[in-house]
Amino acid sequence: PPLFVVIVHSAPGHEYHRRAIRSTWGRSAHLVFLVGETNSSGVQESLERENDRHRDLVQGSFLDSYRNLTYKHVLGLKWVTYHCPGAKYVLKTDDDVFVNTPFLEEFLTRELSPLGARRLVLCEVLYSSIVKRSYRSKWRVSHKEFADRWYPDYCTGWAILYSPDAVFRLYREAQRSEYFWIDDVHITGTLLSKINYTHTHVGPLGILEPRTYQMMRKGEVEDFLFSLLPPSYFEELWYLVNTRSRIPKTAPSIQPRLRSWISR
């Protein structure tokens, strides 16, 4: 069984993104791309040709739109539950994220455990986010959809590392919970609190574009697990992480909880 599997949220028309992943960090990873349905017969035909070639697409029976993101997230949890029972870790990410797979493998093996962990939800955590009520916002939520003024603490969805038990319990909880369309809030906020799991903040091991560009300009590689990055830069960064010596930087916030994850 693989040490980790990767579930990549993609869009039907994002063939370029998927190609960039397959030729760089996804080359040796066990991964699938999740997409919804498309109204374009041309895009659908292209998807089917792509899947005939690569066998790594999973298409849900819902229209691919941001209002259906929760369906896509639950589809990923379901797919892992039924198709990857032996995986030790599960990474959920997006197709505009670069995953440092060589360091991820080292991190899981040395900092966590090659045997797996329990109750693990590692991500960039958003604390005390206010619910957007403005009609100008794409993310406007009505009181009927979500009554509270504040969201529960939740993960930004671009990279979430789950232990398999977390995947299974969240999938099971999603089956009996009312639908809410903002998947990060629903899955890693509301449902996570229902199953009494907590997040662990990824800290400096999850990096945003400015720091990644700075690293690439200097030609130096810091320790990082994943970075938000346009796919056009994947090849350059992939070359860098495979050829340059690293500047070690282990997130101190993660260290105290490692033993408790492994021993549970």
Query: Would you write out the chain's pLDDT as a tens digit for each of its 264 residues?
Result: 899 999 999 999 999 999 999 999 999 899 999 999 999 999 999 999 999 999 999 999 999 998 999 999 999 999 999 999 899 999 999 999 999 999 999 999 999 999 999 999 999 999 989 999 888 888 799 999 999 999 999 999 999 999 999 999 999 999 999 999 989 999 999 999 999 999 999 999 999 999 999 999 999 888 999 999 999 999 999 999 999 766 665 544 444 444 444 444
Per-residue pLDDT at 220? 87
Q: What is the pTM of this model?
A: 0.91
Determine the pLDDT at residue 160.
Answer: 98
pLDDT of residue 245: 67
Looking at residue 1, what is its pLDDT?
86
Concatenating the DSSP letter of every residue in 5-40 gives EEEEE--TT-HHHHHHHHTTTTTTSEEEEEEEE-S-
CA dihedral sign of residues 184, 3, 76, 26: positive
The span from the CA of 245 to the CA of 247, in Å, is: 7
- E strands, the chain, are 4-9, 30-37, 57-63, 89-94, 97-99, 121-126, 154-162, 200-201, 206-207, 221-222, 226-228, 246-247
Rg (CA), the chain: 18
Structural tokens at position 10: 């993609």
Helix, strand or coil for residue 89? strand
- Domains delineated in the chain: 4-263 (3.90.550.50)
Contact 153, 125 (CB under 8 A): yes
How far apart are alpha carbons 115 and 245 in whole angstroms? 28
**What six digits make up the tokens of 86?**
């032996």
